[in-house]
Chain A
């Protein structure tokens, strides 16, 4: 099982828009809620009301500051969960076959009943997408809500990952990145979507849309502010003339 499939029928994944993410953590907590109650073991929390609260989360939002050569520093919110890589190193290192990549859609999953909790897959992942649940001792990771996206008990429009459904800013998109005609593929093409750490050779399925250029201070509208008059008196003269024309 730890062999990666040579080919997957679909490449389901997320496209995350760094131009729009406001860093609200809605996706983080929605994910926690759904995945605590659903697929596999609950996402537990240790020291929940104490000094060092630490729980399992499958999606976390980082914040970075970027200093361009010119102009003000920018703040960028950066959600990160499993990227469902095509060459997923987390799968091949697994000694038990608990980790696998699904042939039908490319989702990387952990079969928890086979997981010995060795943590090697988490080590192998460059992105920090896997977390060992401290109560259950099994590896947890984003399932792309595999128990939502095909779930016949959910209305059609709800068959998407919890994080996508909840994102208030619409910064998260879900779809088949293997299909060039899909909305997500088009979005990636239009907006120049990119991979995280391409040098790691993992070929992530999830893509990130770059922030649009910010603080571009090009002044082409100056003529609009040509004064009609410098003094209130002159202004009233202009006003009278203009009102005549109205």
Chain B
């Protein structure tokens, strides 16, 4: 046999440059292989804490993103009407002149007339600083329409949630339950974790109406009815309480379960937690039977504690919980029909949780000392863990549902224990350690503090003197008092309506508001193009920055073209959304592994230039000159607190980590180190972090906070009670009357569940319509990606067997989907493994003709569709003369997944295109090439 001789060791590349992926929000480390100075191949970085070498489909397709024909080429000024896509290219100097010409008078006269919202921003500690310097209260990123419910519920309840805050202890857990997880943050670590769990043969429960992706590999699928997760969880809680399968020791030691609740109905403190004269939470000490501060050395907090003072009994939080959750309304039999899960199954799952948590407990031998000064010789682990993000968040009952899930974890005693849920540095952090929202506007001056934060009562709301909302998105108002991430989805409709006030300029970054990032897409398009009686646009100026020719580009007056992720500096900073692991603190950078071949600039660098030109505090030197030449300069030299800057690694002379002076060689050190910095959490600090002084001391050293701040988990969230008290008439800041009942009902300081069906007219529209992100293309930037769009070029509407048969659907059929707000006509497909009252489709595949440099007959534009046309930012009218926001009444989170519809068979549209078929816009970048043969090497 004479086989051909082949070269088994071809040269792989000239050089490997290590940076951070940006194909989604996961922020994996990547090795970019270069040939002749060009990007040849991208793979995962094996040393990187997030992905440890693996890389998803999006990450591997980065080369197509980086070279996409839809990349913007230069700054552009609109020449045609808004929405037409007609632009002329201009220089950066001209672009800055235009921007300064718009923004300077706004800042001088009334900074609130700038609404600056930054979409899928990964540099929020920077962009918010810019907005603060400008002086506008109107700043946020996209959390409000993503997963603020999960994040806020986590912070308020236990000082952190999932993803950037914490993760299952994948290496030790014996049972994982995922709730509503399709593809979600953080994608590769979830896959890696599930892979590890499955390799060990541990059990995975998937609670999701749709059995796809992670739920497909789940050992058991619970095809729950959308929006009822909270009820299911509270039923599990009910069963666990009833059987006494709760971690009493854990609850007594580490949570506010033993803290006394004021039981004096006549007091203005009724329902608030009791404090001693030092303002410390008060518990009953079981050894003495007397009240004591929760953190006193030697105190044994009594879960069953109560105190009778002047004829009034103040009982522990735990007693309130027992009373609440033992109520038969949460019995499995009572919730089975609503949740679509049989009572037997709920009981079996509760028993399995109890079995794993208590009968299969694990121990890690390790000495550590708690905040009361008691020393322990081990970490006891309850190896049950959970993960959830958007699926349970994006409902109007999402905050309380997320709270319920966190409560379930806590009563099982799993949080921060081996095998349970573990926080990632710099979390955990008590809610009090976060800023409160700031909104005080002074013309020509900076804002009085950070925009976003956590409210702890009516005093923290962002209201003007007259009680009207201070922010354009009405975040932190009585409509949604705990809207910690702002409400980007309300900005355009509020700005258009001039409620609470009119604005002058809408300045956005990476936010596709005229398409898949808005509820009510058609309506938003009309608002962006609407003119007043003088023929002027109702929203006078729109400045937008994006790297690609997205649908939103054509609605802007001025375009600041961003770079691709391989052409830019970025820092993934401990100051905002870090990439740490449970066992390690880490941060990372992006750096230009290739220089742009277009006249584009990283948006943050453009902000440095604009900040300098506008003279924003923090962006100019004392002599008024521009402080940071570009974003790299900011990353290296910005000092947030003494010794603390955007990047924690390689400070000072390069050998100080956490705290230290600026190091001019810092970015080079990061590049040298593979694009990231990481330091392991000491073993004695690995678990029980909120109460573990070994961790607390280490955290101070590493700059996460400036003094140790141990705290109790808030099963009972007192700030919520404060809002309720206001609604009951106590206090000086009072909600408007029409909101009182809702605040009383929803702001329960203990997790509850309420239905959103009536508001969404479920009697007429009985089917829930959901979207899921496809793993190969979530976060929608993939649409122009030549490789990924072959995988998901269009999206059918998946229909369960019951609806499929009722309508006599056949392959290739079309359906009309009607909601209280709108109607779409789209292709259908059958899925058996789907909750029988749920339909769904892949998210954000549908594109507008003319966008993303796709041909006008691309399947994304002809067959692809958005459910967004069916969703409105307001609920359907309910006859009280008011229009209620389609958001969680607590956080303002957009309730995407409350969408109720009717499905009927329809004839194929005459043009055989999904309806509505929105007319084409002109592509400012032309169209892509016909064929690709992508090879650098020979």
Contact = CB atoms under 8 A, between A and B. Distances in A.
B42 interface: yes
A44 interface: yes
Interface string A19-52: 1111111101110111011100110111111111
Contacts of A227: 242-243
Contacts of A52: 859
Given A1-B1, A103-B1, A224 B931 contact: no
Contacts of B322: 232, 235-236, 239
Interface stretch (A117-125, A150-158, A195-203): A150-158
Contact of A20 (B43, B51, B195): B195
A50 B857 contact: yes
Contact of B195 (A53, A55, A65, A169): A169
Interface in B191-221: 191-192, 194-196, 198-199, 201, 211-221
B175 to A, nearest CB: 12
B303 to A, nearest CB: 6
A45 B786 contact: yes
Interface string A157-173: 11000100111111100
Contact of B216 (A77, A154, A246): A77
Contacts of A238: 244
B191 A22 contact: yes
A32 B8 contact: no
Given A55-B790, A229-B242, A238-B244, A50 B57 contact: no
A221 B348 contact: yes
B243 A226 contact: yes
Nearest to B213: A22
Interface stretch (B137-145, B434-442, B922-930): B922-930
A147 B788 CA distance: 25
Interface string B45-57: 0100001011111
Contacts of B832: 65, 67, 72-73
A228 B932 contact: no
B929 A22 contact: no
Given A51-B855, A146-B6, A168-B188, A73 B56 contact: no
B57 A24 contact: yes
B326 interface: yes
Contact of B304 (A63, A67, A77, A239): A239
**Residue in B6, B217, B242, B323 whose Cβ sees the most chain A Cβ within 10 Å:** B217
Contacts, number: 310
Interface stretch (A82-90, A174-182, A211-219): A211-219
A228 B244 contact: yes
A137 to B, nearest CB: 12
B735 to A, nearest CB: 32
A58 B294 CA distance: 62
Interface residues of B, number: 113
A116 to B, nearest CB: 16
B120 to A, nearest CB: 20
B217 A246 contact: no
Contacts of A217: 345, 348
B701 interface: no
A73 B933 contact: no
Contact of A147 (B10, B35, B63): B10
Given A30-B60, A232-B322, A246 B249 contact: yes
A22 B217 contact: yes
Contacts of B776: 24-25, 28-29
B43 A162 contact: yes
A166 B54 contact: yes
Contact of A37 (B40, B183, B214): B40
A76 interface: yes
A168 B61 contact: no
Contacts of B857: 50-51
Interface string B331-347: 00000000000001101
Interface stretch (B349-357, B532-540, B705-713): B349-357
Contacts of A169: 191-192, 194-195, 198, 217
Contacts of A246: 248-249, 252
B245 interface: yes
Give the size category of A's interface with B: 35 or more
Contact of B833 (A65, A146, A222, A226): A65
B3 interface: yes
Contacts of B786: 45, 48-49, 53, 55
B391 interface: no
Contacts of B252: 243, 246
B564 to A, nearest CB: 16
B2 A1 contact: yes
B751 interface: no
Contacts of B927: 49
A176 B937 CA distance: 30
Nearest to A151: B9
A224 B355 contact: yes
Interface string A88-101: 00000000000010
Contacts of A165: 43-44, 53-54
A142 B348 CA distance: 46
Contacts of A162: 43
Nearest to B194: A169
A242 B10 contact: no
Contacts of A100: 3-4
A225 B934 contact: no
Contacts of B853: 49
Contact of A225 (B44, B188, B351): B351
B212 A75 contact: yes
Given A45-B932, A169-B194, A243 B304 contact: yes
Contact of B191 (A24, A215, A230): A24
Given A49-B858, A227-B243, A44 B196 contact: no
A26 B243 contact: no
B168 interface: no
A37 B351 contact: no
A5 interface: yes
Contacts of A54: 790
Contacts of B2: 1
Contact of B63 (A33, A221, A225): A33
Contacts of A135: 931, 933
A230 B243 CA distance: 9
Interface string B894-937: 00000000000000000000000000000000011111111111
Contacts of B400: none
B4 A111 contact: yes
A69 interface: no
A150 B216 contact: no
A211 B930 CA distance: 41
Contact of B244 (A5, A44, A242): A242
A127 to B, nearest CB: 19
Contact of A219 (B54, B348, B855): B348
Contacts of B793: 53
Interface of B: 1-4, 6-12, 33, 35, 40-44, 46, 51, 53-61, 63, 69, 183, 187-188, 191-192, 194-196, 198-199, 201, 211-221, 223, 239, 241-245, 248-249, 252, 286, 302-304, 318-319, 322-323, 326, 344-345, 347-348, 350-352, 354-355, 359, 775-776, 784, 786-791, 793, 831-833, 853-855, 857-859, 862, 927-937
13 contacts: A23-B213, A24-B775, A29-B776, A30-B57, A75-B833, A158-B46, A165-B54, A166-B55, A168-B56, A169-B217, A215-B219, A232-B322, A236-B322
Interface of A: 1, 3, 5, 17, 19-26, 28-30, 32-34, 36-38, 41-42, 44-55, 57, 63, 65, 67, 72-77, 100, 102-103, 109, 111, 114, 135-136, 146-147, 150-154, 157-158, 162, 165-171, 211-212, 214-217, 219, 221-222, 224-232, 235-236, 238-240, 242-243, 246
| 3 nearest A-B residue pairs (beta carbon) | A49-B928, A168-B191, A73-B832
Given A48-B929, A49-B929, A227-B242, 20 more contacts: A20-B195, A23-B775, A32-B60, A42-B934, A45-B931, A49-B853, A49-B858, A57-B790, A65-B832, A147-B9, A151-B10, A153-B9, A157-B46, A169-B217, A211-B217, A225-B354, A227-B243, A230-B242, A235-B326, A236-B304
